[in-house]
Chain A
């Protein structure tokens, strides 16, 4: 259990650092930036402490906001994602997900992909609605769609990159 906590803390800082130093500078066409830091929320253990998840998601988001000077946009998006994560699990993996040993960082299956896709869409939609903060439907949709594609690509690449090796 302690190794799980430690690995999660390590992942928190690693993803945050990678996001701030690397991915925030990878803006494409001045339109979409990948936000693979939300992998922390996705990779959080299914049976982990929910309070800790919500608290750490808020910390993650508020730190991102500090770096991006964006008020509380990332914090809100991360919080909502962390809060509805069980619902997305239920949708993607079926009702009995709590009793399965679900591993997100493994070979990509349709269930895992749908989970990641839903999570990223929810996160990005909230993020851009709050960031644009106007009734600009097309701008929000465009940013959400392009950002989702970009983020999912980066997330899957990262998952495959750090996949625990099979023996």
Chain B
């Protein structure tokens, strides 16, 4: 017994070393063998507290980066919020006849004026999205206007509530054509002029876009007949049209690409050229 004690005291350094080395090797091997079963880890009170304090200090060095990241994230989230379509009112793209989905550019009205004689609407997409001047703009309930000027990211639209606008339109029932203008008085009404007296018009009849325009496809709704006058000078009908659209409250709109338009214009130009040559 005494000898054992003496041996222990004599070799105490070595024994302690071996004991502790054994412990540390066991811990090492354990940490390598078993996933997530570390006995000695930084998830305790002391080390966790120290790391918490260190992180408190370190956070100050990354404030600018954090701010930038948050701003970027805000922008993304805001974008999602703005782009979100009301799920209760899905856009009725497919319900408009004669327009395929591929020929529509969805855009959003970011500025809308309706209180002056020459009203323009600003959209938040431009040439980047494929918008070109003289494209038609509609929304799910009807006609809105024609693209006027295009920049890279924005486009202005000449609203139908513009005294300079003149759009070919017809009475749906009888196919009699006229020009759609605005007299600048009421935002809910536009005027269809130059409708021949032969046409049978009745209050409540629907006015749609005519097929003579290359900007709009045929049969896009505009409004219903509200009042019928006979013009004193020309003796044509002037029809007051109540718009389907509430032009003071516009959200998402569709810009109509018209692939046939260039071909159409080219053909017209050639035809005119030939006529001039023959004369």
Interface residues of A (CB under 8 A from B): 20-21, 50-51, 54-55, 58, 61-62, 65-73, 75-76, 79-80, 82-83, 130, 133
Bound complex: CA of A4 vs CA of B54, how far in Å?
Answer: 30
Tell whether A83 pairs with B17 under 8 Å between CB atoms, given A62-B40, A71-B40. yes
B21 touches A66 (CB 8 A): no
Given A51-B13, A72-B28, 14 additional A-B pairs, CB 8 A = A21-B54, A66-B42, A67-B42, A69-B41, A71-B28, A71-B29, A71-B30, A71-B31, A71-B38, A72-B25, A72-B31, A76-B25, A80-B21, A130-B28
B16 interfacial contact with A, CB 8 Å = yes
Annotate B183-213 by CB proximity to A: 1 below 8 A, 0 otherwise.
Answer: 0000000000000000000000000000000
B32 interfacial contact with A, CB 8 Å = yes
Bound complex: CA of A94 vs CA of B20, how far in Å?
Answer: 29
B27 touches A75 (CB 8 A): yes
B23 interfacial contact with A, CB 8 Å = yes
Bound complex: CA of A75 vs CA of B24, how far in Å?
Answer: 6
B50 interfacial contact with A, CB 8 Å = yes
Annotate B157-189 by CB proximity to A: 1 below 8 A, 0 otherwise.
Answer: 000000000000000000000000000000000
Tell me, rounded to whole Å, the shortest Cβ–Cβ distance linking A34 to chain B.
17
B13 touches A54 (CB 8 A): yes
- Determine chain B's interface SS by DSSP, over half rule: helix
Nearest to A78 among chain B residues (CB) is B24
Annotate B5-28 by CB proximity to A: 1 below 8 A, 0 otherwise.
Answer: 000000011101100110111111
B40 touches A79 (CB 8 A): no
19 A–B contact pairs at CB < 8 A?
A: A21-B54, A54-B16, A58-B23, A58-B24, A65-B27, A66-B42, A67-B47, A71-B28, A71-B29, A71-B40, A73-B24, A73-B31, A75-B23, A75-B27, A79-B17, A83-B13, A83-B14, A83-B17, A130-B28
Interface residues of B (CB under 8 A from A): 12-14, 16-17, 20-21, 23-32, 38, 40-42, 44, 46-47, 50-51, 54
Give every chain B residue within 8 A of A72 (Cβ-Cβ): 23-28, 31, 40
Nearest to A20 among chain B residues (CB) is B50
Bound complex: CA of A149 vs CA of B13, how far in Å?
Answer: 31
Bound complex: CA of A67 vs CA of B24, how far in Å?
Answer: 15
Nearest to B58 among chain A residues (CB) is A25
Bound complex: CA of A67 vs CA of B44, how far in Å?
Answer: 10
Tell whether A50 pairs with B13 under 8 Å between CB atoms, given A66-B41, A69-B42. yes
- Determine chain A's interface SS by DSSP, over half rule: helix
Give every chain A residue within 8 A of B26 (Cβ-Cβ): 72
Nearest to B21 among chain A residues (CB) is A79
Bound complex: CA of A54 vs CA of B51, how far in Å?
Answer: 27
Closest 8 CB pairs of A and B: A71-B31, A72-B27, A72-B24, A75-B24, A76-B24, A72-B28, A58-B20, A71-B28
Give every chain B residue within 8 A of A130 (Cβ-Cβ): 25, 28
Give every chain A residue within 8 A of B32 (Cβ-Cβ): 71, 133
Nearest to A71 among chain B residues (CB) is B31
